[in-house]
Structure 1
Amino acid sequence: MQLLQTLCQFPAPSGAEAGLTRFILDYVGQHGASWRQPPLVVHDESRFQDCLLLVFGQPRTAVFAHLDSIGFTVRYGRELVPIGGPECVAGYRLVGRDSQGEIDCTLTVDEETEALGYEFSRTIEPGTSLTFACDFRETTTTVQSCYLDNRLGVWCALQLAETLEHGIIAFSCWEEHGGGSVPYLARFIYNTYAVRQALIMDITWVTEGVRPGQGCVISLRDSLIPRRSYVERIRRIAEAAGIQHQLEVEGIGGSDAKDLQRSEMPWDWCFVGAAEDEVHTPHEIVHKADIASMLALYQVLLREL
């Protein structure tokens, strides 16, 4: 869990993913040569900005994992603007850095207008990004931290990479704040490798139908609807492998899949990931059994799809 803790501590809200991209590039540079199939690293800022592809062998399936998190942007005075959809509770610790130095401040929420602000010893420079302060907690059965969505997906992708023989891992940007990087990644992958089936490696919600500790989630739908025949293939593979999993049916929410579904290219996709409680707060919590199930299922799916 040390790598996961490091990832959760890394500030990379939507639009500011570059530092995390460099961290992953360094991590692959240090460890990739010892993996079963050392990947081709595709990172070209002029074409992919802060996104990154790892290409293994002769790929048939692409895994999309977004790098970014929710957060806040400092406006004027002591105002804050949310990045994505953070849960805003007065008193949450926010951290960041501007030209004057390190920032460790407190979130404020106006009781009447619900306007967001901060409490700090000085005025923070406009445009500064702030993120939740990380308090990483691990028990025998759970991990709890800010930004398990989607640093847990990034962690799982790096674990998958160790044994992956054929496939593509695509680290995308901006997912929490509307997306936008997946279209050019999908076009490149489709045109270069003729890959047109995807798995979305992200984190979903604990609900009345999805319970912690009961296995990772195969989503039948959220606000979007994947092609049922592709999802059924994934279900059959999971059942044949005996990997514990749950089925999700929602009418809201989305992921990097939205850009694949709206693409002019015939992409199949399915969301597969662990469920968390305390969503978009500093206290996101995931059961370790669901993390193990998620990684095991991806290892099987990348072999069988």
Structure 2
Amino acid sequence: MQLLETLCRVAAPSGNEAPLTKFLLDYIQRYQSSWRTLPTLLQGEEFQDCIILVFGKPRTAVFAHIDSIGFTVRYGRQLVRIGGPDVETGYQLVGQDTEGPILCRLVVDENTGALSHDFHREIERGTELTFQCDFRETETTVQSCYLDNRLGVWNALRLCETLEDGIIVFSCWEEHGGGSVAYLAKYIYETYGVRQALISDITWVTEGVQPGLGVAISMRDSLIPRRSYVERIRRIAQEAGIPHQLEVESSGGSDAKELQHGAQPWDWCFVGAPEDNVHSPNEIVDKRDIASMLVLYQVLLKRL
């Protein structure tokens, strides 16, 4: 969990993913020699802050978004949401502008719902603020801000250790409307002919998806994937005896929306551990679900 904690402590809200991109590039450079297969690394201005890793002869791509929710400083003490963060007066926020580091509290107006901060000076407009990381680990759980989607990134990095054939994609902007997956998917499809995907992201604990019962295979959210592809994934999970749950939701989305709305014939399925306290500083995930998520991805990349 040390790697997961490190990932959670890197501030990278949508639009300013560069700090986490740098961390990932350094991590890949340091550890790729110990991976089973040495990947081809694709990154640079043509991919903005995204990273693509190509292993062997790929058939499937795994998408993990590296951005998080947060807040942008507006005028005076005003804050604007990045994505859909949970808001509650007293949440600790951190950031940095040209005058130095920032530690302040989120303030929610009881009457209007307007958001502001209580820092002792005016913060430069456009500065991003994120939840202060308080990483807590027990024998059975991990709890922190930004498990969505640092846990999906952790899963992808661990998958790299044993992956022989496949593509790992670290994407941007997912929490605030997307924008990177469309060109990444086009490049992957045209270059490698790959058109099936897994979404390495974190979903919600609900009345039908409970912590500790295994990774969630989503049959639908606000979008509906192709049923035949989801059924293949279900059969593989069942045959491998990997604990899993089926998710059916009417709302929510992921990197999959750009795959489904794109011009290429991508199949996709969201496969991720469920978390409680969504989009708050106190997101919590059961370690059994983390374990089943990684194992299922390892099996799926071999058999899909």
Please indicate, yes or no, whether the TM-score normalized by the shorter chain is above 0.5. yes
Gaps of 5+ in 2: none
Q: Which residue of 1 aligns with 2:202?
A: 203
Tell me which amino acid in the other structure corresponds to 2:223.
Answer: L
State the alpha-carbon separation in 1 of the partners of residues 161 and 263 from structure 2: 33
> Is the aligned partner of 1:74 residue 2:73?
yes
State the alpha-carbon separation in 1 of the partners of residues 285 and 141 from structure 2: 6
Q: Which residue of 1 aligns with 2:24?
A: 24
Q: Deviations over 1:177-215 (max 9, x none)?
A: 000100000000000000000000000000000000000
Q: Which residue of 1 aligns with 2:97?
A: 98
> Is the aligned partner of 1:295 residue 2:289?
no
Cα drift, residue 253 of structure 1: 0.2
Q: Which residue of 2 aligns with 1:12?
A: 12
State the alpha-carbon separation in 2 of the partners of residues 158 and 201 from structure 1: 11
Cα drift, residue 102 of structure 1: 0.2
2:222 alignment partner, SS class: coil
> Is the aligned partner of 1:58 residue 2:63?
no
Cα drift, residue 86 of structure 1: 0.3
State the alpha-carbon separation in 2 of the partners of residues 20 and 134 from structure 1: 15
Gaps of 5+ in 1: none
Tell me which amino acid in the other structure corresponds to 2:74.
Answer: R
> Is the aligned partner of 1:149 residue 2:148?
yes
Q: Which residue of 1 aligns with 2:39?
A: 39
RMSD, aligned CA: 0.4
State the alpha-carbon separation in 2 of the partners of residues 105 and 276 from structure 1: 26
Tell me which amino acid in the other structure corresponds to 2:55.
Answer: F
Q: Which residue of 2 aligns with 1:131?
A: 130
Q: Deviations over 1:49-82 (max 9, x none)?
A: 0000011000000000000000000000000000
Q: Which residue of 2 aligns with 1:168?
A: 167
Q: Which residue of 2 aligns with 1:224?
A: 223
1:134 alignment partner, SS class: coil
> Is the aligned partner of 1:158 residue 2:157?
yes
Cα drift, residue 34 of structure 1: 1.0
| TM-score normalised by length of structure 1 | 0.99
1:163 alignment partner, SS class: coil
Cα drift, residue 38 of structure 1: 1.1
Tell me which amino acid in the other structure corresponds to 2:14.
Answer: S
- How many residue pairs get aligned? The number is 304
Q: Which residue of 2 aligns with 1:179?
A: 178
2:238 alignment partner, SS class: helix
State the alpha-carbon separation in 1 of the partners of residues 114 and 130 from structure 2: 17
Tell me which amino acid in the other structure corresponds to 2:13.
Answer: P
State the alpha-carbon separation in 2 of the partners of residues 173 and 152 from structure 1: 15
Cα drift, residue 44 of structure 1: 1.9
State the alpha-carbon separation in 2 of the partners of residues 103 and 41 from structure 1: 35
State the alpha-carbon separation in 2 of the partners of residues 42 and 150 from structure 1: 21
Cα drift, residue 121 of structure 1: 1.1
Q: Which residue of 2 aligns with 1:83?
A: 82
State the alpha-carbon separation in 2 of the partners of residues 120 and 249 from structure 1: 42
1:111 alignment partner, SS class: coil
Q: Which residue of 2 aligns with 1:247?
A: 246
State the alpha-carbon separation in 1 of the partners of residues 95 and 191 from structure 2: 39
Cα drift, residue 118 of structure 1: 0.2
> Is the aligned partner of 1:194 residue 2:185?
no
State the alpha-carbon separation in 2 of the partners of residues 249 and 154 from structure 1: 23
